[in-house]
Amino acid sequence: MMGQITDKLGRPIRDLRISVTDRCNFRCTYCMPKEIFGDDYVFLPKDELLSFEELVRLAKIYAKLGVKKIRITGGEPLLRRDLPHLIEALNNIEGIEDIGLTTNGLLLKKHGQALYDAGLRRINVSLDALDESFEAINGRGITANQILEQIDYAVSIGLKVKMNMVIQKGLNDDQMIPMVQYFKDKKITLRFIEFMDVGNDNGWNFDKVISKKEMIEVISEAFDIQPEAPKYFGEVAKYYTHDNGAKLGFITSVSESFCSTCTRARLSSDGKIFGCLFATDGYDIKSFMRSGVSDEALETKLTQLWNNRSDRYSDERTEETVKNRKKKKINMNYIGG
């Protein structure tokens, strides 16, 4: 057992994000806009995805190297057939202490109980508005009430739910206060995410970003919130507490980067390892595995990849870097959030 490994900037590896599919049943404007991902868009064939056996093999080795937490993402991960089998297998890996899943929530009533029975206890659900603007944002005419019903169901079966809301100036910033009020009353943690330049197709620019500072100015006029101290090294969100104990978080990749404490490796749906959400290319671990290498060789390769990691894109982001890298980054549906 090699134990904890660190990268070139001294950051330990603690988290593994696994994208299990590039498919999604939404067409959100900031991730998979329908103008690009139309009805004739060709997604990855099944044999291009890593099998559950391959994913578990990688997760076991990453656990030996220091990974404690796994997050399942997509695309929309609930579209991956037999996903509870993967959750159960990951739960049985020595050293893995926490498994979460990020979803748009639409299929929770269909799959939630099976996922819970397999050992899943935490989910993050994306919801960007409570009014009709959500229907336009998701590109499929799904209403907010449809998702809220699914969330109530998830809570009823014992899943711990956090909500994610991507804020874009002029699109859904008027929904911040209604969202805060709704989830405060439910005592469900709501996290605001600054609009990020992820992928190549979301039309990002600085003018569409509302910073954490601006959000707090608006929210503080309506609610009494108090800052919390970080709970652990590498915690992404900056949390505040309401007067009733409910939590409110901010993910500040644009205005207050957290590269210096990033402990996440990312495994894309097509089998590549990335050291950063904003990476331009990744290492094809799928081909390496399928060439018949031993677990020892695979462990050595994963160690080398992390030891050589020096990504800190959000630290370095400027108008110029965004312009130069705009058409190079991996798309969100392959690498997850």
31 marked as binding residue: yes
**Maximum Cα–Cα distance for the chain, whole Å?**
60
- Specify the DSSP class assigned to residue 199: S
DSSP letter string over 215-273?
HHHHHHTT--EEE---SSTT--SEEEEETTS-EEEEE-TTTS--GGG--EEEE-TTSEE
265 marked as binding residue: yes
> What HEC string does 125-156 produce?
EECCCCCCHHHHHHCCCCCHHHHHHHHHHHHH
Cβ atoms 179, 133 nearer than 8 A: no
Q: How many other C-beta atoms are found inside a 10 Å radius of the C-beta of residue 132?
A: 11
Of 281, 265, 278, 264, the closest CA to residue 321 belongs to 278
28 marked as binding residue: yes
How far apart CA 41 and CA 259 sit, in angstroms, is 33
262 marked as binding residue: yes
240 marked as binding residue: no
Which tokens in the block code for residue 99?
């498994």
71 marked as binding residue: yes
DSSP letter string over 6-41?
B-TTSPBP-EEEEE--S--S---TTTS-TTTS-TT-
102 marked as binding residue: yes
Cβ atoms 126, 120 nearer than 8 A: no
312 marked as binding residue: no
Burial of 270 (0-12, 13-18, 19+ CB in 10 A): middle
Strand partners, 122: 100, 160
162 marked as binding residue: yes
245 marked as binding residue: no
297 marked as binding residue: no
11 marked as binding residue: no
Of 203, 212, 167, the closest CA to residue 31 belongs to 203
266 marked as binding residue: yes
156 marked as binding residue: no
**Which parts are annotated binding residues for GTP?**
17, 71, 102, 162, 264-266
Q: What residues form the annotated binding site for [4Fe-4S] cluster?
A: 24, 28, 31, 259, 262, 276
Q: Which residues are annotated as a binding site for S-adenosyl-L-methionine?
A: 30, 75, 126, 196
Residues marked as binding?
Answer: 17, 24, 28, 30-31, 71, 75, 102, 126, 162, 196, 259, 262, 264-266, 276
